[in-house]
Structure 1
Amino acid sequence: MGGASSRNQEGETSDCLENQTVESSNSSFFTEEELKKLKSDYETGGVEMVKTVLQQKVTELDKTELNVAVTGETGAGKSSFINAMRGLQVNDEGAAEVDNIETTKEPAGYKHPNLPNVCFWDLPGIGTIKFPANKYLKEMKFKKYDFFIIISHCRFKENDTKLAKEIKRLGKNFYFVRSKIDNDLDSKRRGGGQFNEEEELVKIRKDCVSKLQEAGIPTPSVFLISNLDLHLYDFSLLNKALEGDLPCIKKSVYILALPNLNSDIVEKKRKELKKRVWMLATLSSVIGAVPVPGVSLASDISILIGGIIHFRRCLGLNDSDLERLAKRAGKSVEDLKAVITTPLVGGEITPDVINRLAWGVAAVTISAIELALDIIPVVGSIFGAGSSFLMTYKLLNAVLHDLAENAQRVVTVAFRSENDPNQTSVQ
Structure 2
Amino acid sequence: MEGASSSQQVDESESAMFFTKEELNKLKSDFETGGVEKVKTLIEKKLVELDKTELNIAVTGETGTGKSTFINAMIGLQNTDPRAAKSGYKETTKEATGYPHPSQSNVRYWDLPGIGSVNFPAGEYFKKMKFEIYDFFIIISADRFKENEGKLAEEIKRLGKKFYFVRTKIDAVFYSMRMEGKKINEEEVLEDIWSECVNNLREVGILTPSVFLISSFIQDQYDFNRLNKTLEDDLPNIKKRIFVLAYPNRSVEIVQQKGRMLQKHIWMLATLSGAVGAVPIPGLSLACDVSILIGAIIHFRKCLCLDEASLQRLANITDKSVEELKAVVKAALLEKIDRHTITRLGWGAAVTVVSAFEVGLYSIPVIGSIFGAGSSFLMTYAILTDALKDLTDSAVRVVKVAYGID
Tell me, in whole angstroms, the C-alpha distance in 1 between the residues paired with 2:318 and 2:111: 25
Of 60-69 and 44-53, deviating more is 44-53
Matches within 5 A, 1:244-259: 244-259=233-248
Does residue 238 (structure 1) correspond to residue 227 (structure 2)? The answer is yes
8 A contact 1:118–1:257 mirrored in 2: yes
Which residue number in structure 2 is paired with residue 69 of structure 1? 58
Structure ranking higher in helix proportion: 1
3-state DSSP of counterpart to 1:46 = helix
Task: Give structure 2 stretches of 5+ with no counterpart.
Answer: 1-7, 352-369
Which residue number in structure 1 is paired with residue 400 of structure 2? 412
Matches within 5 A, 1:17-416: 21-23=12-14, 28-288=17-277, 300-340=289-329, 342-358=330-346, 385-416=373-404
Deviation track 1:62-93 (CA, whole Å, cap 9, x = no partner) reads: 11111111111111111111111111001213
Please tell me the residue identity of whatever aligns with 1:349. Answer: I
- Going from structure 1 to structure 2, the CA distance change for 1:225 and 1:345 (only over 3 Å counts) comes to farther
TM-score (norm: length of structure 1): 0.82
Task: Give structure 1 stretches of 5+ with no counterpart.
Answer: 1-15, 364-381, 423-427
3-state DSSP of counterpart to 1:208 = helix
8 A contact 2:212–2:223 mirrored in 1: yes
- Going from structure 1 to structure 2, the CA distance change for 1:59 and 1:194 (only over 3 Å counts) comes to same
Tell me, in whole angstroms, the C-alpha distance in 2 between the residues paired with 1:360 and 1:72: 51
- Going from structure 1 to structure 2, the CA distance change for 1:269 and 1:249 (only over 3 Å counts) comes to same
3-state DSSP of counterpart to 1:120 = strand
Of 124-133 and 165-174, deviating more is 124-133
Deviation track 1:199-220 (CA, whole Å, cap 9, x = no partner) reads: 3322322222223223433222
- Going from structure 1 to structure 2, the CA distance change for 1:21 and 1:134 (only over 3 Å counts) comes to farther
3-state DSSP of counterpart to 2:144 = coil
Tell me, in whole angstroms, the C-alpha distance in 2 between the residues paired with 1:193 and 1:149: 31
Please tell me the residue identity of whatever aligns with 2:274. Answer: S
Please tell me the residue identity of whatever aligns with 1:216. Answer: G
Tell me, in whole angstroms, the C-alpha distance in 1 between the residues paired with 2:61 and 2:371: 60
Identity of aligned residues (%): 59
Tell me how far 1:19 sits from its aligned partner. Answer: 5.5
8 A contact 1:106–1:123 mirrored in 2: yes
Tell me how far 1:246 sits from its aligned partner. Answer: 1.3
Please tell me the residue identity of whatever aligns with 2:296. Answer: G
Tell me, in whole angstroms, the C-alpha distance in 1 between the residues paired with 2:182 and 2:348: 68
Please tell me the residue identity of whatever aligns with 1:403. Answer: L
Please tell me the residue identity of whatever aligns with 1:219. Answer: T
3-state DSSP of counterpart to 2:77 = coil
- Going from structure 1 to structure 2, the CA distance change for 1:333 and 1:186 (only over 3 Å counts) comes to farther
Tell me, in whole angstroms, the C-alpha distance in 1 between the residues paired with 2:280 and 2:332: 29
Tell me, in whole angstroms, the C-alpha distance in 2 between the residues paired with 1:210 and 1:84: 28
Deviation track 1:393-423 (CA, whole Å, cap 9, x = no partner) reads: 011111111111221222222223xxxx63x
Please tell me the residue identity of whatever aligns with 1:393. Answer: Y
